[in-house]
Structure 1
């Protein structure tokens, strides 16, 4: 398993995303993922499944210090009055004394960035989390946040796949010693995984299109991915990406595809995204 080291954090490059996983399905997927080797589990307050994620972690029976658990605070709760209490509720629901990484889920233009980061840093000082970071920040917001935060921000979690360039985010991550953790890393399946060139590369390597895309991501410096699935068979597929390498031509082709700039996640409250 590749480990990304940033700001003192050691982040497993492949994790399990749990967005829209509910009830027993969520608990079972988390447990099965850990049993087959996943050590990075990602959730969020907004997902409404922290209790189920926590149960899956307990059911797996793996020592806590072997896992890297991330949760995120929704954009309405990142002010001084709400972030700490909300993080406390997250720990209660997860059944954990501390998470490994606590993120601001989305920026909020109505709450000063300085205020949000002060509260996020306080969460770390209070021991609610080992590390802190952000999600869905533009490169300029990342640069500002890195300047403001006394403690290292170890990652920016953003949508990233071969149909969406994130060149500006990658540049800012590397400049600020932050990881890029990709959500929707296989483009939510569908069209991307049916791309003829990706299928051709997959056949050449004896892998699936999803494995090719995930491999392209984790071969990049400081990039990890948190694919989500409800299919137990996909769990094994998504983590089985460490026994081969793409060719330079493969990598170049996938990188050129990012010029399509097909963003899948773009809510009304999203920031003004970077062009690249």
Structure 2
């Protein structure tokens, strides 16, 4: 597995996203991912699956120290004391003494990030988190958070795919040595049969999904956490580092479209 290195920290470049995975399905998917070599698992308080993620890790043959675990604090827990208390509850559900990365899941306009960061700093000082970051922060919010934070911001996790390319944020993250973690890298399923990706994939003997993930991970400081429950797709999602896309191919893949991106997001949210 390839790694992204930011601020001297190595993070597996491809992880498993667990949004909308709950119960037995979550446990079995995480277990399969660990068995297949995944060492980066992403969860959140809002996902209501931290317990299943923790059980899968505890039941696996993989040492806790070898797995990068990210969880996220809900915006309603953004105040310092709530950050500390809710994260400790997350650790109990996960069955671990620490998480590698703790993110604020969404901005909370009613709480200064300075207060959130103080809670994260307390957790870091107590050894309960290794690193801190944010999620769904646009460039200006990330810049402001970095200015206010009492703890280094290691990552910003955002929706990122060929139709939603976050050029300004991506460039800023590279400039300040911050990881951009791409969720929904397959555009909520909208890229599964994309003709451009299909054509390029045939040239490299890869699936459209593998081409999309290779495009995402080809950027500086970018990791990704695609979600799938299929064992075969888990295997394919990790097998993307044995080929390179040309500059021309990368340019063809990137087709920013706010309208298309939003439509695919809403279709997924509404189950259409």
8 Å Cα contact 1:159-1:265 kept in structure 2:
no
- For residue 35 of structure 1, what is the aligned residue in structure 2? 35
Moved more, 108-117 or 67-76: 108-117
Secondary structure of 1:233's aligned partner: helix
- State the aligned residue count: 264
- For residue 201 of structure 1, what is the aligned residue in structure 2? 200
- For residue 91 of structure 2, what is the aligned residue in structure 1? 91
Distance 1:231 1:15 in 2: 14
- For residue 270 of structure 2, what is the aligned residue in structure 1? none
8 Å Cα contact 1:198-1:212 kept in structure 2:
yes
From the superposition, tell whether residues 203 and 156 of structure 1 become closer, same or farther in structure 2 (CA, over 3 Å): same
Distance 2:179 2:40 in 1: 14
Cα-to-partner distance string for 1:184-222 (whole Å, 9 max, x where unaligned): 011121x32222111101111111100000000111111
Cα-to-partner distance string for 1:206-249 (whole Å, 9 max, x where unaligned): 11100000000111111110000122221111111011111121
How far apart are residue 151 of structure 1 and its match? 2.4
TM-score by length of 2: 0.93
Secondary structure of 2:223's aligned partner: strand
- For residue 182 of structure 1, what is the aligned residue in structure 2? 182
Matches within 5 A, 1:28-67: 28-67=28-67
8 Å Cα contact 1:143-1:176 kept in structure 2:
no
How far apart are residue 258 of structure 1 and its match? 2.1
Cα-to-partner distance string for 1:6-40 (whole Å, 9 max, x where unaligned): 12421100000011111111111111101111000
Distance 2:257 2:246 in 1: 20
8 Å Cα contact 1:45-1:90 kept in structure 2:
yes
Distance 1:7 1:86 in 2: 27
8 Å Cα contact 1:78-1:104 kept in structure 2:
yes
Distance 1:223 1:22 in 2: 27
Distance 2:67 2:191 in 1: 30
For structure 1, which runs of at least 5 residues remain unmatched after alignment? 267-276
Aligned CA-pair RMSD: 1.4
Q: Does 1:238 align with 2:229?
A: no
Secondary structure of 2:117's aligned partner: helix
8 Å Cα contact 1:155-1:178 kept in structure 2:
yes
Distance 1:224 1:15 in 2: 8
Distance 1:30 1:195 in 2: 28
Matches within 5 A, 1:125-274: 125-189=125-189, 191-255=190-254, 257-260=255-258, 262-263=261-262
8 Å Cα contact 1:34-1:60 kept in structure 2:
yes
Secondary structure of 1:52's aligned partner: helix
Cα-to-partner distance string for 1:39-69 (whole Å, 9 max, x where unaligned): 0000000000001000111122201111100
How far apart are residue 260 of structure 1 and its match? 4.9
For structure 2, which runs of at least 5 residues remain unmatched after alignment? 267-272
- For residue 114 of structure 2, what is the aligned residue in structure 1? 114
How far apart are residue 115 of structure 1 and its match? 1.1
